[in-house]
C-alpha cells in the first residue's frame, strides 16, 4: 500500500487536525478527540458536542486576546474592581463606580477624572476600567502624563508631532496617570492641550490627579491653558473625588511598620473641583 497523504489521514481526527490548522482552530483541534469520547459516554447530541468544542475555542481565543492586548495597553499592574475595598474609601460611591464599569461613558466618548491624594487607589480604579475595556475589545492605552508629554515633545522636536498625535488619538480609551505630580513646561502643556482637544468628543480619557482643579494652573504653568484643558476634559465627564487615607500606608500600619506618629498620614486639604479663574 502506498502512503499518500490521503491514505495516512484515514483517522477522521487526523483530518480534523489538518482542517483546524487551515481554519486556525487550535482549541478544537486539541479537544476534539477527548471531547468526542466524553460526548459518547455522556450521550451528548451532535449539536451539544459541536457547541462544546466551539465554545472552548471562543474562550481560549478571548483569553489570548486579553493577555496580548493587556500587554499592548501598557497597564502598570492588573487589578479589578472586585479587588477594590470600598469600605476603606467611604467618600467613593460604590454604585456609581460599578455603573462606570459598564463603560457606557466610553461608548459616549466621555471622560473619567479621578482625583485624590496618593495611595487612595486612583490608578487601581482606572486600571480596572481599562481591564474591563480590554475584555470588551475596546482599544485602550495607558500612560503617565510624564511619559506622554516626553514622547510628544520628542515627536515635536523631530517634526513628526501630527503622526504621534494621531497615535494617541486612536485608542477609544486613553488613560493618563499622575497628572500634577510634576509641573509641565509651557511646550509640554501646549502639546498636552492639543491632545485633549484632538480627543474632545471623539474618544474617552481616564485621568488621575493628586491635585485639585484649582491647582491645575500651576501644573500646566498657565491658568488660561489649564482652563482650556479643563473645559474640554470636564464638559462630558464623571469626576471621582476620593478623600481618604492611603491604602498603602494602611497595609504598612497593619504590619506594624509605621510608628504611632504615622498612624494618620497628614491629609491633604479637600480637593476643590471648581475651575481655576481664567
Ligand atoms: P494612587 O494611584 O491613588 O496613588 P494606587 O491605585 O496606586 O493609588 O493604589 C496603591 C496600592 O493600593 C495599589 O496596589 C492598589 O491596588 C491598592 N489600593 C488602593 N486603594 C485600595 C482599596 N480601596 N482597596 C484595595 N486596594 C487598594
Ligand atoms: Mg497612581
CATH of the domain at 249: 3.40.50.300
Residue 79 shares a structural domain with residue 63: no
For 236-246, letters b (16+ CB in 10 Å) and e give ebbebbbbbbb
Nearest ligand, CA 85:
1
Atom of ligand 1 nearest to the CA of 248: 12
Is 89 part of any domain? yes
Spell out which residues line ligand 1, taking CB within 6 angstroms: 79, 83-85, 88-89, 116, 118-124, 208, 247-248
Residue 277 DSSP label: P
CA distance 263 to 59: 46
Centre of ligand 1 to C-alpha 114, Å, is 12
Q: Cα of 166 to ligand 1 centre, how many Å?
A: 31
Indicate if 86 and 50 belong to the same structural domain. no
157 and 39 both lie in a single domain: no
* Whether residue 218 sits in one domain with residue 199: yes
Same-domain status, 104 and 155? yes
Answer yes or no: is 272 within a domain: no
Cell representation of residue 61:
481565543
Q: 127 and 143, same structural domain? A: yes
- Give pLDDT tens digits along the chain (278 positions): 444 455 567 888 999 999 999 999 999 999 999 999 999 999 999 999 999 999 999 999 999 999 999 999 999 999 999 999 999 999 999 999 999 999 999 999 999 999 999 999 999 999 999 999 999 999 999 999 999 999 999 999 999 999 999 999 999 999 999 999 999 999 999 999 999 999 999 999 999 999 999 999 999 999 999 999 999 999 999 999 999 889 888 777 777 766 544 444 444 444 444 444 44
C-alpha cell at position 240: 471621582
Domain that holds residue 55: 5-69
Grid cell of 90 as nine digits: 467611604
Q: What is the pTM of this model?
A: 0.85
* Shared-domain flag, residues 207 and 144: yes
Question: Quick check: is 269 in a domain?
Answer: no
**Which residue among 124, 142, 181, 246 has the greatest number of ligand 1 atoms within 8 angstroms of its CB, and so is best to mutate?**
124
Q: Which of 123, 125, 247 to mutate to test the pocket of ligand 1 (most atoms within 8 A of CB)?
A: 247
Domain match, 175 and 200 both: yes
- 130 and 47 both lie in a single domain: no
Residues 107 and 243 in one domain: yes
Shortest CA distance to 125 belongs to which of 148, 147, 93? 93
**228 and 101 within one domain:** yes
Per-position DSSP letters for 30-83, written without gaps between them: HHHHHHHHHHHHHT--HHHHHHHHHHHHHHHHHHHHHHHHHHHHT-SS---GGG
Atom of ligand 1 nearest to the CA of 88: 23
State which H helix or E strand residue 146 sits in: helix 145-157
Residues 86 and 21 both lie in one domain: no
Amino acid at each position: 500500500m502506498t502512503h499518500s497523504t490521503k491514505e495516512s489521514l484515514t483517522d477522521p481526527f487526523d483530518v480534523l487536525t489538518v482542517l483546524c490548522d487551515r481554519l486556525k482552530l487550535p482549541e478544537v483541534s486539541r479537544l476534539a478527540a477527548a471531547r468526542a469520547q466524553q460526548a459518547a459516554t455522556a450521550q451528548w447530541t451532535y449539536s451539544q458536542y459541536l457547541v462544546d468544542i466551539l465554545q472552548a475555542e471562543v474562550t481560549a481565543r478571548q483569553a489570548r486576546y486579553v493577555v496580548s492586548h493587556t500587554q499592548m495597553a501598557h497597564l502598570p499592574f492588573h487589578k479589578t474592581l472586585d479587588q477594590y475595598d470600598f469600605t476603606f474609601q467611604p467618600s467613593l460611591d460604590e454604585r456609581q463606580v460599578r455603573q462606570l464599569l459598564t463603560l457606557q461613558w466610553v461608548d459616549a466618548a466621555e471622560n473619567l477624572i479621578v482625583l485624590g491624594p496618593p495611595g487612595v487607589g486612583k490608578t487601581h480604579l482606572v486600571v480596572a476600567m481599562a481591564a474591563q475595556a480590554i475584555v470588551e475589545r475596546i482599544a485602550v492605552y495607558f500612560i503617565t502624563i510624564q511619559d506622554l508629554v516626553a514622547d510628544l515633545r520628542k515627536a515635536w522636536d523631530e517634526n513628526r508631532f501630527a503622526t504621534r498625535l494621531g497615535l494617541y488619538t486612536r485608542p477609544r480609551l486613553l488613560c493618563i496617570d499622575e497628572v500634577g505630580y510634576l509641573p509641565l513646561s509651557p511646550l509640554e502643556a501646549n502639546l498636552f492641550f492639543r491632545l485633549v482637544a484632538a480627543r474632545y468628543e471623539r474618544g474617552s480619557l481616564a485621568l488621575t490627579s493628586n491635585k485639585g482643579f484649582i491647582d491645575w494652573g500651576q501644573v500646566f504653568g498657565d491658568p488660561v491653558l489649564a482652563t482650556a484643558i479643563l473645559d474640554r476634559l470636564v464638559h462630558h465627564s464623571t469626576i471621582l473625588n476620593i478623600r481618604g487615607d492611603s491604602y498603602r500606608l494602611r497595609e504598612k500600619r497593619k504590619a506594624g511598620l509605621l510608628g504611632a506618629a504615622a498612624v494618620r498620614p497628614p491629609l491633604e486639604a479637600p480637593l476643590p473641583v471648581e475651575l481655576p479663574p481664567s
